[in-house]
Structure 1
Amino acid sequence: MVDAERQDLIRALPFARRFARALEGNQKQGDQLVAHALKNLATLKDGHNIGIRYRLYRAITERFQQANEGPHTSVTLTLTQRFVLLLTSLEEVPLSAVALILDKSEQDILEDITRANDGLRSVAETSVLIIEDEPIIAMDIQDVVQQCGHRIAGVAYNEADAVRIAKETRPGLILADINLGGGGDGMHAVGRIMKDHQAPVIFVTAYPERLLTGEQEEPSFIITKPFEPTTLAITTYQAVTGGVKAI
């Protein structure tokens, strides 16, 4: 691999790891999925010259599909629909590139998006604790959460309030900013909450690649601020179900 390709791969890895973790539902299995994809990358057919980041996505989806063959009668979304929503919403991949990654037509991708969005609307609601130090941003996030059909367990502007509200409300999902300014640290707040209450967590940050270095314990679900309702909806679905194996 030439130096330029190596640098492209290094830049692509954080996003590939985020995508794989969202599919698998946890850090360890997601990183194992990326490791398998990297092994297959050199032999992966690429007749469209779509670039190394998109080739990684293709290798991940192919490996995940192979590992999850067979019927899943209680799954709301098909594997392909999950791929499509995560790629377009979480990873912000253009529709044309998603079609190449999944080897489908753009029309097929559009139909998958429509059916997947219908499926997401049928998912049972949950209660969400929002941890965000900026009141205006917290209000915006609250609106998005409610648009997705979920209830608000509470809004915490600092670490202490987050721990208190979680203890009082026992939320079904935690949506946490990383940097709480003078009010503490979002990851530390979640760590304290998890000692008493287990719930899936989605971290929100403007710089997701900074949390995916492989140098420390990292979140399983990360979305980029600002985010759209569909991004939250599919990430919430993956977090609550824990990936296809947990359904």
Structure 2
Amino acid sequence: MTTAELVAMSLPYLRRYARAVTGDQTGGDAYVAATLEALLANAPQLSKASDTKVELFRIFSKIWNSLSVNHAQEAAAATPGEARLRQLTPLPRQAFLLVSLENFSEEEGARILGVDRSAFRDLLDSAGRELAEDIATDVLIIEDEPLIALDFEALVESLGHRVLGVARTRDEAVKLAAGRRPGLILADIQLADGSSGLDAVNDLLMKAEVPVVFITAYPERFLTGERPEPAFLIAKPFRPNHAAAVISQALFFERNARPRRRAVA
């Protein structure tokens, strides 16, 4: 397999990670492009997919962590809660994402961030303590498969959030959100009655801006580089650690986003 083919296999995962680190599709893709340029300039000999993925993430992390502007942004927090969340960037949050979202081993994560294994474990511990603080909210789950809905309910509650309700269809989702605004939406893209979770979310976002995590059995269909595409995806069957990381990231970036104009009904 050629180097280009090995890189192509890892590229969707690097784009997902870059988006989680930067909180933005455009910004994340710009860092990915810089990573590819650096890789081509160095022309390393890569023979395995696992080695290629680690090397791509290592170069990305080196570029991201070398720019002081990324560190400076973290210092300008408005509240104590936001300050604690922003302290997860750059290293503790990256360590958390590398293990929980991208399924790297501790050894691989340490190589990517350029630290020893003990230091990497310290970063993971720090992220775990800080990430769950100050982000509890009401969660609306839009999922038509009862067992999966129950699993998500249990996961959401274990993270300290409250389940506003579970909707099986687009209409049910709109009705549930009418009485109380959710702080986060978990939405399956394809619902049993033929309605779309995407349409349900669009209906809800006409009322107010809410962070959204989409659930799908086919994530590759939505991580194509074309726009628009979901910023946060959970693939079925989901891993609890992975799902927890995505949920926390969606809430993290919503808390730290600049205020946006809300649509009027």
Name which of structure 1's ranges 137-146 and 173-182 shifts more when overlaid on structure 2.
Answer: 173-182
Equivalent residues in 2 for 1:8-157, closer than 5 Å: 8-43=6-41, 51-65=51-65, 66=67, 67-70=69-72, 72=75, 74=83, 75-157=86-168
Counterpart Cα distance in 2 of 1:164 and 1:109: 45
Structure 2 contact 71–90 (Cα < 8 Å) conserved: no
Structure 2 contact 23–253 (Cα < 8 Å) conserved: yes
Gaps of 5+ in 1: none
Shift of 1:6: 1.4
Deviation by residue 1:49-81 (Cα, 9 ceiling, x = unmatched): 862222222222223222413362612424111
Match for 2:55: what amino acid? Answer: R
Q: Do residues 211 (structure 1) and 219 (structure 2) align?
A: no
Deviation by residue 1:120-175 (Cα, 9 ceiling, x = unmatched): 23233111111111011101100000000001111111122122222332111111
Match for residue 235 of structure 1 among 240, 246, 249: 246
Structure 2 contact 168–192 (Cα < 8 Å) conserved: no
Structure 1 contact 156–165 (Cα < 8 Å) conserved: yes
Structure 1 contact 44–59 (Cα < 8 Å) conserved: no
User: Relative to structure 1, is the Cα distance of residues 68 and 119 closer, same or farther in structure 2, using a 3 angstrom cutoff?
Assistant: same
Shift of 1:47: 9.9
TM-score, normalised by the number of residues in structure 2: 0.82
User: Relative to structure 1, is the Cα distance of residues 160 and 243 closer, same or farther in structure 2, using a 3 angstrom cutoff?
Assistant: closer
**Aligned-pair RMSD on alpha carbons?**
2.6
* Partner SS state of residue 127, structure 2: helix
* Partner SS state of residue 174, structure 1: strand
Match for 2:51: what amino acid? Answer: G
User: Relative to structure 1, is the Cα distance of residues 101 and 244 closer, same or farther in structure 2, using a 3 angstrom cutoff?
Assistant: farther
Match for 1:190: what amino acid? Answer: V
Shift of 1:102: 1.0
Match for 1:105: what amino acid? Answer: D
Higher relative contact order (Cα pairs below 8 Å, separated by 6+ residues): 1
Counterpart Cα distance in 2 of 1:149 and 1:88: 21
Name which of structure 1's ranges 145-154 and 87-96 shifts more when overlaid on structure 2.
Answer: 87-96
User: Relative to structure 1, is the Cα distance of residues 170 and 44 closer, same or farther in structure 2, using a 3 angstrom cutoff?
Assistant: farther
Deviation by residue 1:67-114 (Cα, 9 ceiling, x = unmatched): 413362612424111111111111111222111111112222222112
Match for 2:40: what amino acid? Answer: A
TM-score, normalised by the number of residues in structure 1: 0.88
Structure 1 contact 144–228 (Cα < 8 Å) conserved: no
Counterpart Cα distance in 1 of 2:211 and 2:31: 20
Counterpart Cα distance in 1 of 2:15 and 2:127: 23
Structure 1 residue aligned with 2:169: 158
Question: Percent identity of the aligned residues?
Answer: 38
Counterpart Cα distance in 1 of 2:205 and 2:31: 26
Counterpart Cα distance in 2 of 1:43 and 1:244: 38
* Partner SS state of residue 130, structure 1: strand
Name which of structure 1's ranges 183-192 and 125-134 shifts more when overlaid on structure 2.
Answer: 183-192
Structure 1 contact 22–243 (Cα < 8 Å) conserved: no
